[in-house]
A and B are shown apart, each in its own frame.
Chain A
């Protein structure tokens, strides 16, 4: 591609300390995200994918390598990279749905007063929650809370939207619906999203490009193109799913085989 990448992750090694040890979460990970990508980071639990996303969010600095957004190095959290978390408590319980979206806009100084309110209502309408604009978060269902979080992230019109397994805590039916809705929203605005998941079907469905990480510590195993949207349910999807599954879990199977022989 001729254009520069929007997000440039180069040789990033991440470490964090737990109470009694230093853990290397990812080792020399490289990838590029371009404008309007639906870039999915996929890997089993323990591959450091969430840590990687937090590093892009600026919550954690790499011990090696660098993360650049539009050419500027990421050093701390900022509203140009809005996060959508997995947890339902990411909405501020003391603010209504509308206030939650507005607060993001006003606290960052992006918009104020009327224009912030209008922008908030516009995005709340996009996630079909206009009726609940004045409700407090505790009265909403899990799926609705996640939709508010998505509306909040999108209303900020960030350079990139970071989503950390946003649908993992939802029931299967709601999850499918949310995936469809997210794709509809993308059709609408073509935002750039970096999406972390451990579900292979979700990665194939949501992603336009998929980065596979191996576990302990996370290293890039492959970066592949996903299927065109209309084919994300057919036989090709099954085949791709199988291929990804083999790539991600091949080592484990071998190990297990060795153990049973030994």
Chain B
């Protein structure tokens, strides 16, 4: 065996110069590059959906049931510049922000309690498994009795819809922080809140951000639903009330415009605000691709 191996001649070669063969690196074609931009692909989908909507509505030809895309946009623009749609949206967003921030503050408190002791963890886990499956809107009747008609009740159900999603994700984020990173933090002598703030929160930020996104989506749909129920007796309702009111008056394009606003705000928050935060943090840090 060893002899036959020794008999084989050794080989030495010089690598060929790059100019002797075709492509080493070549820029992609313009079309390929455009197709690589996620925003372009998504806009294409939106345009296609709008076209299908328009086409179907024209075929159906029943503006009372299903107005066309163009008439919805018409109602939307009119609502924006005179119908008070902007004001209604702002009313909704104001309440939303109150509930959202209160929910996050409470979630932070709960998670800090949860990570400091084992009983705290059990407390958080029990509460989340009890209340997370409970739809926030189901609490509205109770909230109305406790806080009456008004923003108090809305904020209450909003807190409920935000709190558990954020707390659950933050807590599981904290739990998944690697042992090495914890030891690094403790090596610097960090303890208590400065340890949480300077090591745990940034290290768990991908999960926290997911929690914030889920919480936002829950809050937004809870709010619109709650306004539908409650706008009935409240003078200056938000978007939900706008939709309800216009349905009663059979202004169906306005109903669509209201729904359209809900969607647009949802898309903006998701694709502008959260995307920017993501790009500046977890993507930049290589914690999410």
Contacts and interface: CB of A to CB of B under 8 A. Distances in A.
A83 B184 contact: yes
B180 A89 contact: yes
A85 B186 CA distance: 13
Interface in B176-198: 178, 180-181, 183-184, 186-190, 194, 198
A137 interface: yes
A111 interface: no
B188 A92 contact: no
Given A92-B202, A94-B202, A136-B284, A108 B188 contact: yes
A234 to B, nearest CB: 27
A90 B184 contact: yes
A58 to B, nearest CB: 8
Contacts of B183: 54, 57, 59, 77, 83, 85
Interface in A46-79: 54, 57, 59, 76-79
A97 interface: no
Interface in B264-289: 281, 284-287
Contacts of B287: 93-94, 138
A107 B180 contact: no
A92 B184 contact: yes
A52 to B, nearest CB: 15
Contact of B286 (A82, A90, A136): A136
Please indicate which of the listed interface residues B190, B202, B285 has the most CB atoms of chain A within 10 Å of its own CB.
Answer: B285
Contacts, number: 64
Interface in B138-185: 178, 180-181, 183-184
B286 A107 contact: no
Contacts of A94: 202-203, 205, 281, 285, 287
Contacts of B194: 107
A129 B12 CA distance: 35
Interface in A96-144: 103-104, 107-108, 136-139
B281 A83 contact: no
A203 to B, nearest CB: 23
Nearest to A91: B184
Contact of B190 (A90, A93, A107): A107
Contacts of B199: 92
A81 B184 CA distance: 11
A136 B184 contact: no
Nearest to B284: A136
A12 B180 CA distance: 24
A181 interface: no
Given A59-B183, A107-B190, A108-B188, A87 B178 contact: yes
Given A136-B284, A138-B286, A90 B181 contact: yes
A85 B185 CA distance: 13
Query: Which of B184, B187, B189, B199 is packed against the most chain A CB atoms within 10 Å?
Result: B187
Contacts of A79: 187-189
A79 B180 CA distance: 15
A99 B189 CA distance: 17
B180 A90 contact: yes
B113 to A, nearest CB: 23
Contacts of A76: 186
B181 A57 contact: no
B208 to A, nearest CB: 12
B242 to A, nearest CB: 42
Contacts of A107: 188-190, 194, 198
A77 B189 contact: yes
Nearest to B180: A87
A77 B180 contact: no
Given A94-B202, A108-B188, A89 B178 contact: yes
Interface of B: 178, 180-181, 183-184, 186-190, 194, 198-199, 202-203, 205, 281, 284-287
Given A76-B186, A90-B180, 20 more contacts: A54-B183, A77-B183, A77-B187, A77-B189, A78-B189, A79-B188, A79-B189, A81-B187, A83-B187, A85-B180, A85-B183, A87-B178, A92-B203, A93-B285, A93-B287, A94-B203, A107-B188, A107-B198, A137-B286, A139-B286
15 contacts: A79-B187, A79-B188, A79-B189, A82-B187, A85-B180, A92-B202, A92-B203, A94-B203, A94-B281, A103-B198, A108-B188, A136-B286, A138-B286, A138-B287, A139-B286
